[in-house]
Amino acid sequence: MNKIYENREMMKSNFHLKKDIETDQSKKMPQPPLQKPFDENAERIKLPEFGEEIILDNSLLNCLKKRRSHRKFKDESLSLEELSFLLWSTQGIDEIRGDNYASIRPVPSAGARHPFETYLLINKVDGLNMGIYRYLPLTHELLFLFNEEEMVDKVEKITFRQKFVATAPVLFIWSCIPYRGEWRYSIASHKAMLLDAGHICQNLYLASEAIGCGTCAIAAYNQEEADALVEIDGQEEFVVYMSPVGKIEQ
Ligand SMILES: Cc1cc2nc3c(=O)[nH]c(=O)nc-3n(C[C@H](O)[C@H](O)[C@H](O)COP(=O)(O)O)c2cc1C
């Protein structure tokens, strides 16, 4: 082995492997729900169907070629149809298999476990008040969670002063619920989960390009503060990725 690697004690190929693990699925433990439960009495907003009229560029080749990270957005709101399209592209559900056994979505996920939830900081979307929302993929709805004074300042601080992240019309914040994957794959699910997060964000990049928007993957944020922002415990659920979206110059 090359000398420069001599004392390296970081990631190795066996970091996620442990032999002879009996998974909770094999022990016939109940499967965790496909979507995090919520208060049925809370305010929910049905997302509209989106039509072809929101698509400015229907060419996959163009969208792939144009895809770049964008950090400058126009001072323009997104329509609810555009947000509906972006949410479907990233985490929407097209099919349920078995007795709520698996959900099939525009993004792939190891074993169709889809161990993520989507939170949104809404700054500028037609018809929506500012605030933090959660996407409910099973019914294609938004769940209003709360709004707070000085939310933008708070998010700017959480993302280490990346102002464009906090002020974008919409900020996607994805959390991971590890047990959804662990139930089937135990410790081997962790690698797959983080690969899966990449698919979601890449779909957001391409879907954004198709509707005249831009985005930028964000992994630089304060973990504890990001978890606290969307009121999750950092144990059973924690933030893994963010991505702000806004209209861009064409
Ligand atoms: C996992 C990941 C984390 C990233 N985190 C940040 C970030 O916190 N802030 C930022 O401005 N860009 C971030 N980026 C964007 C990269 O800087 C960008 O993809 C890279 O410079 C290449 O540019 P391109 O996306 O335009 O091709 C991140 C990208 C990835 C894939």
The 10s digit of each residue's pLDDT in 111-136 is 999 999 999 999 999 999 999 999 99
Mutate to test the pocket of ligand 1, among 218, 221, 222, 241 (most ligand atoms within 8 A of CB): 218
Domains, the chain, ranges and CATH? Answer: 43-247 (3.40.109.10)
Has residue 6 got a pLDDT over 90? no
CB 114 within 8 A of CB 91: yes
Please tell me the residue having the least CA distance from ligand 1 atom 4. 218
- Tell me the CA end-to-end span of the chain in Å, nearest whole number: 50
Whole-model pTM: value is 0.96
Has residue 20 got a pLDDT over 90? no
CB 38 within 8 A of CB 137: no
Query: What atom in ligand 1 is closest to the CA of residue 160?
Result: 8
Mutate to test the pocket of ligand 1, among 69, 159, 199 (most ligand atoms within 8 A of CB): 69
> Distance from CA of residue 123 to its chain's centroid?
17
Determine what percent of the chain is predicted with pLDDT higher than 70: 98
Ligand 1 binding pocket includes 219 (Cβ within 6 Å): yes
pLDDT band (50, 70, 90) for residue 5? confident
The 10s digit of each residue's pLDDT in 96-108 is 999 899 999 999 9
Ligand 1 binding pocket includes 155 (Cβ within 6 Å): no
Count of alpha carbons within 13 Å of 124, Cβ hemisphere only?
15
The 10s digit of each residue's pLDDT in 50-68 is 999 999 999 999 999 999 9
Ligand 1 binding pocket includes 164 (Cβ within 6 Å): no
**1 CA distance to ligand 1 centroid (A)?**
31
- d(Cα 250, Cα 39) in Å, to the nearest integer? 41
CB 94 within 8 A of CB 85: no
Ligand 1 binding pocket includes 217 (Cβ within 6 Å): yes
